[in-house]
Amino acid sequence: MNPFERLPIEKQARIVNASISEFAEKDYETASMNVVVNHAGISKGSLFNYFKTKSTLYDYVYALALGEVKAYLKDVRDSTIGLPFNERLTQIIDSGVQFIVDHPRLAKIYFRLVYSSDSPNRKKIITELQLLSNNYLGEIIQDGINHKELNSTLNKAQAVFYLDAVLNRFLKEYHDSLSNGKLLDRNDWVNSITELFTKGFK
């Protein structure tokens, strides 16, 4: 167990909350450890005792965010087993929207990571995210094929690529719409994307 994990839960939460806020509001290069310590109410020496570098702290925050995403994905996957492909896909897309609503700062860090190049270890993280997406969406699509809801000759790798690309773009647009006050029609977009892929994959 590292020194950070031995801290009281309340102090851990303050540091994590301050770190998430800083990385959400600024890109990696301009994010400041001084701001983190001020918001967390700790000394700079203490923070560097827990996280030796800004990169180490960023990796920790990213791992927390990924854990939240995995939990969301697992819940919707497990709760939709047995549903038709179109209903399952609708709930998966909507769960992505709900994650953004529930965790706007983590979503902001995620989209900055995906769409910019300033994050540390970006190539490694993107590879990990892509593997997660490929496995998750590939499993959902394969279930649809197995249940004869989707075309048995469907190229699964291509199907995952198309679906992943559209979902990432839509979720980013939805996230941006929350910020600029021009909120997208959630149900209309979720249902239209579901219809597009349900028909297109048959």
Residue 70's pLDDT is 85
Tell the residue number behind the tokens 């890109």, with chain if given.
27
Total domain count, the chain: 2
> Is the pLDDT assigned to residue 45 strictly greater than 80?
yes
* Residue 9 pLDDT level (bands cut at 50, 70, 90): very high
Indicate if 34 and 125 belong to the same structural domain: no
Indicate if 27 and 63 belong to the same structural domain: no
Indicate if 13 and 102 belong to the same structural domain: no
Residue 202 · residue 151 · CB < 8 Å = yes
**What is the domain range of residue 7?**
1-52
* Residue 80 pLDDT level (bands cut at 50, 70, 90): very high
Indicate if 89 and 159 belong to the same structural domain: yes
Indicate if 192 and 98 belong to the same structural domain: yes
CA distance 65 to 162: 24
> Is the pLDDT assigned to residue 120 strictly greater than 90?
no
Q: Of all helices (H) and strands (E), which one includes residue 57?
A: helix 54-79
Instruction: Please tell me the pTM assigned to this model.
Output: 0.86
Reported in sequence order, the residue ranges of 92-185 that DSSP labels E, i.e. its strands, are none
Residue 110's pLDDT is 85
Indicate if 44 and 63 belong to the same structural domain: no
Residue 201's pLDDT is 85
* Residue 72 pLDDT level (bands cut at 50, 70, 90): confident
Residue 125's pLDDT is 84
- The burial class, CB within 10 Å (0-12 / 13-18 / 19+), for 58 is buried
Residue 67 · residue 16 · CB < 8 Å = no
Return the structure tokens found at 75.
Answer: 């819940």
Residue 18's pLDDT is 96
> Which has the closest alpha carbon to 192: 77, 93, 81?
93
> Is the pLDDT assigned to residue 116 strictly greater than 80?
no
**Alpha helix ranges (H) inside the chain:** 9-25, 33-40, 44-50, 54-79, 85-102, 104-115, 122-146, 156-180, 186-200
* Residue 180 pLDDT level (bands cut at 50, 70, 90): confident
What pLDDT digit, counting tens, does each position of 92-103 carry? Answer: 999 999 999 999
Indicate if 29 and 94 belong to the same structural domain: no
Indicate if 41 and 77 belong to the same structural domain: no
Indicate if 104 and 191 belong to the same structural domain: yes
> Is the pLDDT assigned to residue 153 strictly greater than 90?
yes
Residue 34, domain CATH: 1.10.10.60
Indicate if 110 and 196 belong to the same structural domain: yes
Residue 181's pLDDT is 83
- The burial class, CB within 10 Å (0-12 / 13-18 / 19+), for 163 is buried
Residue 8's pLDDT is 93
Residue 101 identity:
V
For the chain, give me the number of helices (H) and strands (E)? 9, 0
Percent of the chain at pLDDT above 90? 64
Residue 188, domain CATH: 1.10.357.10
Residue 192's pLDDT is 96
Tell the residue number behind the tokens 């203490």, with chain if given.
46
Q: Which of 11, 26, 52 is the last residue of a domain?
A: 52
Indicate if 171 and 107 belong to the same structural domain: yes
Indicate if 39 and 115 belong to the same structural domain: no
CA distance 132 to 41: 36
